[in-house]
Amino acid sequence: MSEIKIFKADKIFTGEEWLSGHAIITENNIIKTIVPQADIPSGIQLNHFENSIIAPAFIDLQIYGAHGKLLSEYPTTEALTELNNYCRAGGAAYCMPTVATNHYTVFKKVMDAIKEYWQQGSDGILGIHLEGPWINPVKRGAHIESLVRCPTLDEVKEILDYGKGVIKIITLAPEQCSEEVVETILSNGILISAGHSNATYSQAKQGFAKGIKAVTHLYNAMSPLQHRSPGLLGATMDDDTVMASIIPDGHHVDFAAVRIAKAVMKDRLFVITDAVTTTGNGPYQHELVGDKYEAAGILSGSALTMFKALGNLVNHCGIEMGEAIRMCSLYPAKLIGLDGELGKVEKGYKAKLVAINLQENACALL
């Protein structure tokens, strides 16, 4: 039996244009059509969101835990549920749980939890993002130096085989990994993102040419842009296709730097929260200091939600609301190849929608 729903708000942002006086009709959680309000069919409950915008739901491709459950310490379906609830409260219908540089046994336990989560029929978790351990110790940031390593081809094959279908993104330093390692990861259909890297401009461009399509948290933990040494940052800005995530919390990146990157990269720049949670166990002990997290005095993660990030883009970076929404929805969907079903309010797309109430500074997934 079909389940039909109708959603109406002051404005609808489709991902491409703004509509007023319209409503969205969904059937079995798929967008069926968008109609003028005069053409809304009778006999079906109308969900009206006053003082609100309806837009595509957000997607967070880098988040480590929530509500006191850091995934590397709590590799369980319960922790994944807490993480998903945190993301949903911030307007993100989908997220990519992330584990920073760690023992392979920890990665495997989180992968097992994700498999179990999927087997339970739960929604919202896209897979796992492995951030390390194949990074450059010089740019490790808050990552544990003793766990950082250059990978052998055999260990890469072993972890990829274990995580088949679960590993979706790997952040690595291209200068630390052999050409065979990069090719092997890509041949498994996994997205490589360059990060925690001291790559030169030339090394970064070579990595992009080999198939690296993304860069992790632009500006942070990478070789900077200098006029005689453009580094990974310069190579990223100087490329026509590579995309990059950014953390717009005002701590990881100054808001002016976000504006500069946006002006250069345009639709190649997208938002992640990089959010962690308080924990006093294990190698990563994050402490909430103000509105950011630190580990032994080093900036170690944000306290963002995607909705907070959206507000910062608009209010502090001067980015137009529609474009800010795209940075939180359509562009991450594009990076992971889901822009044909997510990131737009369009016929045939999944009915993953968020209502943004600007008057109350709140949001809710529909």
Active-site positions read 274
In the block, residue with structure tokens 């110790």:
137
Nearest-CA neighbor of 335 among 167, 191, 183, 128?
191
* Residue type at position 238: D
Tokens matching residue 351: 């009915």
Tokens matching residue 99: 């584990």
In the structure, how many helices (H) and strands (E) does the chain have?
10, 20
Detail the DSSP E strand segments found in the chain: 4-13, 18-20, 22-27, 30-36, 46-56, 58-63, 65-66, 69-70, 92-100, 128-131, 167-172, 191-194, 214-215, 243-246, 269-271, 287-289, 292-295, 298-302, 353-357, 362-365
Q: How crowded is residue 287: how many other Cβ atoms within 10 Å of its Cβ? A: 15
Pairing of β 30-36 and β 92-100:
unpaired
In the block, residue with structure tokens 């951030």:
131
Q: How crowded is residue 81: how many other Cβ atoms within 10 Å of its Cβ? A: 18
